[in-house]
Amino acid sequence: MPSSTSFPTTLTAALTLLALTSCSGSGGMSTGASPVVGTTTMPTPVPMSMMDQSATRLSSSEENDDPVDGSSVLKQLGQTTTIGSTVDPLNGDQNPYGLAVASVSAGSIQSGDLVVCNFNNAANVQGTGTTIVALHPQPGSSPRRVAQNAALLGCTELALAPNGNIWASAFAANDNPIFTPGGTLVTTLPGGPWHGPFGQTFAPHGGSFGNAAFYESNAGDGTIVRIGINPGPHFAFQIIARGFAVNHGAPGSILGPSGLQYDERHDRLYIVDGANNTLVALRGVSKIPADGVIVNGTSFGGPSGKRARLIFSGAPLNGPISSALLPDGHLVLGNTLDASGLNLMVEIAPNGRLLDVKNVDTGAGGALFGMVATGHSNADTKLYFNDDNDNTVKVLTP
């Protein structure tokens, strides 16, 4: 580990929480977990010499992209519909950031619900929101409170576990709280390497770190953290990449690694960085060890530097924070620094080809925070996004 940091790569943690795993060999997570008490000492990183040779050699599925036909999905999504307000019905929290779609019915959340966290309080003070709400995905829906807790202060992103538990990146609280679908705080993952948590995504792919993982990004120091999930459950924290660009901004002007998306077909983690307007892929991310990738602007070093790839850099990207992975593998990024009258979404293919740019809000710039796509093909793709100009979640459809 570089001498410039004193934070250990792999940590010891004692956690009392609801079981998230009971994982099968396939890397899936049980949805019927029961409360347990788990205390464990996290394993030390496996030396590179003892890891599978694929740690430094990419397989064809990790390296090769699917054929790109050049057709834009975003261009086909011509209808914009408002689903409903994201303002918390009890305390008025606003400014929606994190957005996820529930895949199971559990607690107060139904399968297909849109789950949103609010970044600001009712007075619209940046980074002071503490709530998660849910809406049914039909137009005219009203928000229902799911959780309210100081551990959510300045929530920026959400990801849902297969059992319905909600994982949040809370920038202002500087923690990574986990809530049950009923809104009960399970843990804040104390002792983790959190430095302004900004992005979050779930990956069912297992590895030496455990049977599945969440990936988290820090806007404070430009790191990517893998939270390995082991039976028990036990968590192993590994900083797998360092050096992503950050702007050290205050709440409301933060830019850094965010918009995390996991492509299960290729075991690939996409990272958006609004501080230098880039889209980066970590290929075969489950095989990247602690301190595997060192980012130097738009080039990459470290033992697993070959697994990092610059997908896109520069205009029309302009302070992107959020992203969505479409069913066909394309990515859509949302700008936050466009001029008034512009809130641009940018569609990019995995090979770096720019496919489309769409303005989805003609109000004040910087309204796009939180995006998620659903569907099985281009024909039934829906792209949901948070609109901070009117505190709503909207959907783009064909």
DSSP 317-386: --S--EEEE-TTS-EEEE-SSPPTT--EEEEE-TTS-EEEEEE---SSS--EEEEEEE-SSGGG-EEEEE
In the block, which residue shows the tokens 């024909």? 379
pLDDT tens for 227-273 read 999 876 679 999 999 999 999 999 999 999 999 999 999 999 999 99
pLDDT for 230: 84
pLDDT for 394: 99
**Which token pair is 204?**
């069912």
Query: Is the confidence at residue 7, as pLDDT, over 80?
Result: no
Determine, yes or no, domain membership for 277: yes
Helix (H) or strand (E) holding 61: helix 60-63
Query: Is the confidence at residue 15, as pLDDT, over 70?
Result: no
In the block, which residue shows the tokens 């390497």? 193
pLDDT for 234: 79
Confidence of residue 66 (pLDDT cuts 50, 70, 90): low
The pairs formed by 28-33 with CB atoms below 8 angstroms and a separation of 24 or more are 28/162, 28/204, 28/211, 28/212, 29/161, 29/162, 29/163, 29/204, 29/211, 29/212, 29/229, 30/162, 30/163, 31/104, 31/106, 31/162, 31/163, 31/164, 32/163, 33/163
Do 139 and 175 form a contact (C-beta atoms < 8 A)?
A: no
pLDDT for 51: 31
pLDDT tens for 97-115 read 999 999 999 999 999 999 9
Confidence (pTM): 0.87
Range of the domain at 179: 73-397
**Which token pair is 251?**
């709440």
Interatomic CA distance for residues 173 and 350, integer angstroms: 34
Determine, yes or no, domain membership for 18: no
pLDDT tens for 348-376 read 999 999 999 999 999 999 999 999 999 99
Domain count, the chain: 1
pLDDT tens for 305-345 read 999 999 999 999 999 999 999 999 999 999 999 999 999 99
50 SS3 class: helix
Do 292 and 283 form a contact (C-beta atoms < 8 A)?
A: no
Determine, yes or no, domain membership for 320: yes
Determine, yes or no, domain membership for 304: yes
DSSP state of 286: G
Find the Cα–Cα–Cα–Cα dihedral 296, 302, 304, 308, rounded to 10°.
0
Determine, yes or no, domain membership for 298: yes
Radius of gyration of the chain (CA): 19
Determine, yes or no, domain membership for 286: yes
Determine, yes or no, domain membership for 9: no
**Residues in the chain, overall count:** 398
Of residues 227 and 48, more confidently modeled: 227
User: What residue type is 221 in one-letter code?
Assistant: D
Determine, yes or no, domain membership for 202: yes
User: What residue type is 355 in one-letter code?
Assistant: L
Do 131 and 122 form a contact (C-beta atoms < 8 A)?
A: no
CATH number of the domain bearing residue 90: 2.120.10.30
